[in-house]
Amino acid sequence: MCFNISIVSSIDAIEQQFNAEFHIDFSFESKKHISAFTNPKIPVITSKDPNMIQPFYWGLIPHWVKDVQKADSIRRMTYNAKSETVHKKPSFRDSIKNKKCLIIADGFYEWQSTSSGKICHYIQSTNDDIFAFAGIWSEWVNQTTGELLHSTSILTQPANTMMAEIHNIKKRQPVILEGNRQYEWLKSSQDYGYLLDVAQNISLTAKIIESPLKNKN
């Protein structure tokens, strides 16, 4: 699965890469480590507004959720969405139809289980410093305050050979899109299987590093 990412690239570099501008209200800061479990806002480009980079909460809240307690509970289970079942799950099946997005990153972290403990790997695209995860998004209205919240989830798929060696328990990897595939994803309807095939075979590089979770409470 994918719960830890990095976005160390500058605003200028990201805007140039995606030919899009950061939303005026998005106070973006480059970070070496972003954990889904901290309820962060991460940079997203939606199918609705492909020229704008917006801050979306990581952890999708479906539009039908009734209250804050349920929203807080469900988002903890929607950091990722399995590509094999995304069209069936109640939390995701509406978004996958016409609410696709790109989730911007330049690396992610995964842990390999060994007999002597877990080894952290930092993984990047071989071809591009900045890439995008295939994602889906949702709008949810807090009925108590009237606040409109945007949230997102990263699609995952079965791991390729390299990722299966690293993520050697669940053997999953995020769906990573490069170049023209990014906007093909935004424009796609239900027929996007070929994009998953390309993403599964994407060229990645990995290096062993000290875990960014070390000494964190």
For residue 52, the SS3 value is: strand
Largest CA distance in the chain: 51
| 19 exposure class (CB count in 10 Å sphere: 0-12, 13-18, 19+) | exposed
CA 212, 214, 216, 217 torsion-angle sign: positive
Report yes or no: 42 and 104 within 8 Å, Cβ to Cβ.
yes
The C-alpha angle 5, 37, 199, rounded to 5 degrees, equals 35
Report yes or no: 66 and 11 within 8 Å, Cβ to Cβ.
no
CA distances (Å), 74 to each of 60, 69, 70, 157, in order? 8, 9, 6, 21
Supply the residues annotated as catalytic.
2, 110
Please name which of 108, 114, 87 lies closest in space to residue 172, comparing C-alpha atoms. Answer: 108
CA dihedral 138, 143, 146, 150 (to 10 degrees): -10
